[in-house]
Structure 1
Amino acid sequence: MKHLIPAIIFTGLLMSCNSTDKTKGTVQDSDTTETTTETTPTETNKNLKAIDSDDALIATALMAAPEASRANCKVIGYNMAGEFVTLREGDNEFIVLADDPNKEGFSAACYHKDLDPFMARGRALKAEGKKHQEIFDIREEEMKAGKFNIPTGATLHIYSGPKAEYDPTTAKVDEAKLRYVVYLPWATAASTGLPEAPVASNHPWIMNPGTHRAHIMISPLADHNK
């Protein structure tokens, strides 16, 4: 019996050591996984910085414009002081609307200058406190009355994403993608042959058919790397 008690104690200590070693191994593996998960984005995004100046607003907004036209685009939008201003003058066919630094995420747009009366009217109505459907209805009636015109085929380029950080060397905004709107006032699915809902990523479809704001929508391809 005396020999049995030490044997039991020794066995218990051995099991305890084995258990402790397994626990340590599990914790170390967990730490390695968490460290890898946390540091990978930092390593990938080490060149990113916040969009925190008017120059950065201009640079990132221009990513919405066709590359060959960026040098001469007019850039408008809210500056860092919260004022809606002309951030940069331009003399080509495009107007670029910069991201609003007071809103979450990132959204810039580029549109043909002939769309400006339509776009400006929308901004003015929104500033008056009008909601989306009210703005839609008012502009529909005004276009029917000939107060402004949306040229057939005029295109809107939208560059947007969930983050407001960019690479200063390229001006690319982290996770931002382009989508396109081609205006065809009063067009329908029957007149264009396009579906009224997307059937696949990057597939054109017609939105707001039969209205002043009818347009072909082309959304970005899904990111299959995620």
Structure 2
Amino acid sequence: MNNLWSAILIMAIFASCNTNEENNVESESKLTNTNEETINNTSEQNYVSIDNDEALMATALLAAPEANRANCKVIGYNMAGEFVTYREGTNEFIVLTDDPKKSGFNAACYHKSLEPFMARGRELKSEGKSGAEIFDIREEEVKSGKLSMGEPGATLHIYYGDSERYDPKTTQVENAIYRYVVYLPFATSESTGLPEAPIASNHPWIMNPGTHRAHIMISPINNSKKK
């Protein structure tokens, strides 16, 4: 009889321990989920709309190399829809802000020698010319020597994404990524050794070969993109 009661007591203690462990695991799981939800909600709350000129300028500068941002010239549309110079610069870069009237986010930074080419494109676009018309007009003007394409190898940095929100503390735009364009007017696959289509998503290739707008496309893999 004593052995029977001892066995029953041991089973009761074992069952109690299992129940406590299950309760602890469940509590820790709930706590973990709550913490994750809190972190996600906090992260979500950090993002706000790009809805003022200061935010437009701050986010546009992210397109420039970090070491050069302090001295870039900044131009682009303001919230009133006017194309303005936000500030003058002293280095080789010009930064172009996102157009707040368009969906998504698209800021750019380019070598100052490309400004005649870029400015001519904006001018023709304001006249209502289509993309194909702008291409043909600039092609003819570059060939005739009327329009400069800048220094060979001049680079355009593009910082873009679908979101129009940013974190004002870091000025990072939600899920934005980079792409680089290196202009080599009239270059071809034969003259550069580059393919005319990417071999993989992050491999360089030549676009618009043989034209004034021939350029090397480089799209880095975005390992930091949040899902």
- Give the TM-score of the pair, scaled to structure 2: 0.80
Q: How far did 1:46 drift?
A: 2.0
Q: Are residues 222 and 58 of structure 1, via their aligned partners in 2, closer, same or farther at CA, if it must alter by over 3 Å?
A: closer
CA distance in 2, matches of 1:45, 1:149: 45
CA distance in 1, matches of 2:39, 2:90: 43
Partner of 1:88: 87
Q: Which moved more, 1:82-91 or 1:134-143?
A: 82-91
Instruction: Determine if contact 1:48/1:166 at 8 Å carries over to the other structure.
Output: yes
Give CA-to-partner distance per residue, 1:154-204, whole Å, 9 cap, x none.
000000000011111111100101100000001000111111011112110
CA distance in 2, matches of 1:207, 1:225: 29
- Tell me the amino acid that sits aligned with residue 181 of structure 1: V
Q: Are residues 225 and 101 of structure 1, via their aligned partners in 2, closer, same or farther at CA, if it must alter by over 3 Å?
A: closer
Instruction: Determine if contact 2:177/2:222 at 8 Å carries over to the other structure.
Output: no
- How many correspondences in the alignment? 192
Partner of 1:157: 157
Which ranges in structure 1 are unaligned for 5 or more consecutive residues? Answer: 1-34
CA distance in 1, matches of 2:63, 2:160: 9
Q: Are residues 39 and 139 of structure 1, via their aligned partners in 2, closer, same or farther at CA, if it must alter by over 3 Å?
A: farther
Q: How far did 1:148 drift?
A: 2.0
Report whether the alignment pairs 1:101 with 2:100: yes
Report whether the alignment pairs 1:54 with 2:86: no
Give CA-to-partner distance per residue, 1:55-87, whole Å, 9 cap, x none.
110000000000010001111011011101001
Partner of 2:6: none
Instruction: Determine if contact 1:205/1:216 at 8 Å carries over to the other structure.
Output: yes
Q: How far did 1:114 drift?
A: 0.4
CA distance in 2, matches of 1:124, 1:39: 48
- Tell me the amino acid that sits aligned with residue 145 of structure 2: G
Partner of 1:65: 64
Partner of 1:120: 119
Instruction: Determine if contact 2:185/2:214 at 8 Å carries over to the other structure.
Output: yes
Instruction: Determine if contact 1:201/1:222 at 8 Å carries over to the other structure.
Output: no
CA distance in 1, matches of 2:176, 2:139: 31
CA distance in 2, matches of 1:208, 1:83: 31
| 3-state SS in 2 of match to 1:139 | helix
Mapping for residues 167-186 of structure 1, pairs under 5 Å: 167-186=167-186
CA distance in 1, matches of 2:40, 2:127: 42
Kindly report structure 1 stretches of 4+ aligned residues shifted beyond 6 Å: 37-40
